[in-house]
Amino acid sequence: MRRRHLTINVAKDAKAPRIEEEEIEPYSVEEVQKILLEAGRRRHPARWVIALALGLRQSEVLGMKWADVDLERGVIRLRRGRLRPKYAHGCGGDCGCKAGYCKQRVQVRRETKETKSRAGRRLIPLPDELIRLFGKHQESQARERSLARQLWAEKEYVFASPTGEPLNPNTDYHEWKDILVAAGVREARLHDARHTAGTVLRLLKVPERIVMAIMGWSSVSMAKRYQHVADPMLQETAEKIAVLLWGLPDGAPAETLETAD
């Protein structure tokens, strides 16, 4: 049309292909209990409670530093995300393997990136149980720092490797898969933990603006995607999940988390 070869816009009457919305299947109370029990046996129990209770994105959790955590006020400030590592050969390509497996590999991408959107930069309140778990996690990390000695990288990541380096998203993902298998629950993506948190907040009738603030949604349309609830997720179930994740009374599965390092 710009060159005037056509007198009408032929795309105007074209129908856009229908986009199939991804089906959301949150975990049931029983599944959440099993996951938390198994998570309590891992190095970072708090990492998985965060996923199921607050629905934080993987990049947000792995990019979190201790300066972002205020245990006295009971809040965490989200302002950066972990980037997937990218490597280049340090051997000139002579090793015959991919750059990521090169023994002399060089990191060519920064570890984190500051969050630009207003919805992404947010303050998240911590339930009392998570404050306690963060405190225990801090103690556990101090022991790891002492054991690592000069090998420890002082980078201040909340969830780090045994030498203080930021966790690789792939390593984190595979641990999630291992937890599901060990817990004996159905196969699911790590993002489904986020779906569970979002659905619970909706079922509990938490005001929409609060749900959007916690989940980091920038549009109402994102919140509406979580209004679909599977049949087993009735109001009673939502209340049980709320008690499990936000209240955690005596005898709840989180008791197991207290004994894990």
pLDDT, one tens digit for every residue, the chain (261 residues): 556 566 666 555 656 555 455 566 778 777 888 888 899 899 999 999 888 878 888 999 999 999 999 999 888 888 898 888 787 888 877 788 888 778 877 777 788 888 767 667 788 888 777 888 999 999 999 999 999 999 999 999 999 999 999 999 999 999 999 999 999 999 988 888 887 777 766 666 666 766 777 777 666 666 566 554 444 444 444 455 556 565 544 444 443 333 334
* pLDDT computed for residue 252 by the predictor: 43
The structure tokens listed for 169 are 């998203």
The pair of structure tokens assigned to 167 is: 């966790």
Residue 248's pLDDT is 45
Give me the pLDDT at residue 251, please: 41
Report the C-alpha gap between 21 and 107 in whole angstroms: 37
Beta strands 106-107; 87-88: pairing state: antiparallel
Is 117:127 a contact under the CB 8 Å cutoff?
no
Using alpha carbons only, what angle is made at residue 216 by residues 214 and 222, rounded to the nearest 5 degrees? 110
Cα 254 from chain centre: 19
Q: H helices of 149-227, where? A: 169-183, 191-203, 208-215, 220-224
Domains of the chain, each with CATH number or no CATH: 29-79+115-259 (1.10.443.10), 80-114 (no CATH)
Q: What is the pTM of this model?
A: 0.71
CA distance 79 to 175: 24
* 113/93 Cα distance (integer angstroms): 28
Q: How far apart are CA 215 and CA 46, in angstroms?
A: 18
Residue type, 4: R
Q: Are 32 and 143 in contact (CB under 8 A)?
A: no
Consecutive H or E run containing 243? none
Cα dist from 202 to 165, 181, 208, 209, whole Å: 36, 28, 8, 11
